Amino acid sequence: MAHRWTNTLTRNDITPKALWLNRRAVLGGMAAGGLAGGIAAPAAAQSAPLEPNTLEEIRSYNNFYEFGTGKGDPAENAGAMQTDPWQVTVDGLVDNPGTYALDDLIGDMTIEDRIYRFRCVEAWSMVVPWNGFELGDLLQKLGPQEGAKFIAFETAVIPEVMPGVRRRVLDFPYVEGLRLDEAMHPLTLMATGLYGEPLANQNGAPLRLVVPWKYGFKSIKSIVRITLTDEMPPTTWNRLNAREYGFYSNVNPNVDHPRWSQASERVIGGGLFSSRQDTLMFNGYPEVAPLYEGMDLSVAY
């Protein structure tokens, strides 16, 4: 695995992150501290080193409703899913459509290590040391066409091994999407592993999206279809309850879920002692703010 370290927050490596943020700020045309409307999160919170959750925690506390709605269900059931061979269909407004064997699609991508905050809309959070590649790199290879404005994703549906699909706990296949500029943002990752190990099935093997500034449900797992489109695609949770789950769903401590506060989050791990911490605007990734210029961030989208 070729490793290129960018945007990493490690326990003992704070300075490179600070430099990286500064570089991003310059590239993004943001004046230091110059974001209006309280978008920029406190500097101290931004640069604090992140302590990743343990592999055990990340693999045992999951949301993957195809395998059941309990947090332990995916770990118990997802092992039965066959992830090799795996095919991904690419279609829509794209120069290189087709049904690809996974390795033909992503075998030449550069795998990086990215330690990201992960914030579920249910107000819990983890820190995950992902391995993956930038979705933008894959998109460059696939060649989005002129009219493409959105990207849509679809998860595998394999009823024989997916009890949640058999019980129809959601309308499957699970679908998600991003605006194309969000998809091209360098923070947007396609994960293939974590902690240097292949993804466990419950984490979305063999290929899952990771969008660290959005609520976790945007990070769709076990992807079998990628579609480039000119229309905002339907998304599973939005379709189920549009009032509670928007298409954008950027992490925002100032906009509560209709049924609970989003101002703080329960940190998973730490043994018997669960702690709470303040939730950060854009989950602590203020460099994405320019993507939403002109949008009223006091309302949920």
Residue 7 CB, shortest distance to ligand MTE, in Å, is 19
Residue 242 CB, shortest distance to Mo ion, in Å, is 17
Residue 247 CB, shortest distance to ligand MTE, in Å, is 15
66 binds, among Mo ion, ligand MTE, none (CB under 5 to 8 A by kind): ligand MTE
Strands 87-92 and 223-229: parallel
Cβ distance to ligand MTE smaller for residue 133 or 174 = 174
59 binds, among Mo ion, ligand MTE, none (CB under 5 to 8 A by kind): none
Q: Looking only at residues 27 through 66 of this chain, which bind Mo ion when binding is defined by CB under 5 A?
A: 63
Cβ distance to ligand MTE smaller for residue 66 or 112 = 66
Residue 194 CB, shortest distance to ligand MTE, in Å, is 9
According to the annotation, is 229 in a ligand binding site?
A: no
* Residues at the interface with ligand MTE (CB under 6 A): 62-66, 120, 155, 174, 203-204, 216-217, 219-222
Q: Is 120 in the site for Mo ion (CB under 5 A)?
A: yes
Cβ distance to Mo ion smaller for residue 7 or 63 = 63
| Residue stretches of the annotated binding site for Mo-molybdopterin | 62, 65-66, 120, 155, 203, 208, 219-221
Interacting residues with Mo ion (CB under 5 A): 63, 120, 216-217
